[in-house]
Amino acid sequence: MKILVTYMSQTGNTKKVAEAIYQEIKGKKEIKPMSEVSSLAGYDLAFVGLPIQAYGPGAEGKSFLEQHSKGRNIALFITHASPEEQPELKEWLGKCKAAAVGANIVGIFNCRGELSQAIADFMSNSGDPALAAWAKERPDTLGQPDAARLKKARTFAREIMKKHSRG
């Protein structure tokens, strides 16, 4: 059995989750950014990670999923600046799942990630009051994903591996 962990990460948060997941996988495994993956053929299971950007999957993650998901076993992991309890998250995660056209989605993990200073500055200066208000939430996101969230990511990876080896 061969497992791939692949991710898109603009500011490093999703990469941290990817590395935590990768550490938990036993046996044949690879980790690489999705820009270096040309196909998911040959992998029994792929963990695919991306950040939420503009209320859904970012452009690179979306196009990767649309192109490579068909007939594949995929576990999604997603980071976002909003708190996990944010009601709109359901819809944003739904859009990520929908992008994985034809996949067998074996699980989905999501957690908060830090809103970078550069992105917060961009939002503050965008002239859009909703984005400017959002930028003010940056202090609440600092240091995310933290150790507790990365631990949850590792638990997720173990559960998926257990389920997959049974099934």
* CA-closest candidate to residue 20, choices 120, 145, 116: 145
The residue range among 12-20, 65-73, 93-101, 151-159 that interacts with ligand FMN, by the rule CB under 6 A, is 12-20
CB of 56 to ligand FMN, least distance (A): 7
Print the binding letters for residues 37-76 with ligand FMN: x by CB under 6 A, - otherwise.
--------------xxxxx---------------------
Tokens encoding 80? 């976002």
Query: What's the gap between Cα 9 and its chain centre?
Result: 8
- Cα–Cα distance between 28 and 146 in angstroms, integer? 27
Residue nearest ligand FMN by beta-carbon distance: 113
Q: Which is nearer to ligand FMN, 15 or 72 (CB)?
A: 15
96 lines the binding site for ligand FMN (CB under 6 A): no
Q: Is 37 exposed, middle or buried (0-12, 13-18, 19+ CB in 10 A)?
A: middle
SS3 call for 107: strand
Q: Which is nearer to ligand FMN, 24 or 114 (CB)?
A: 114
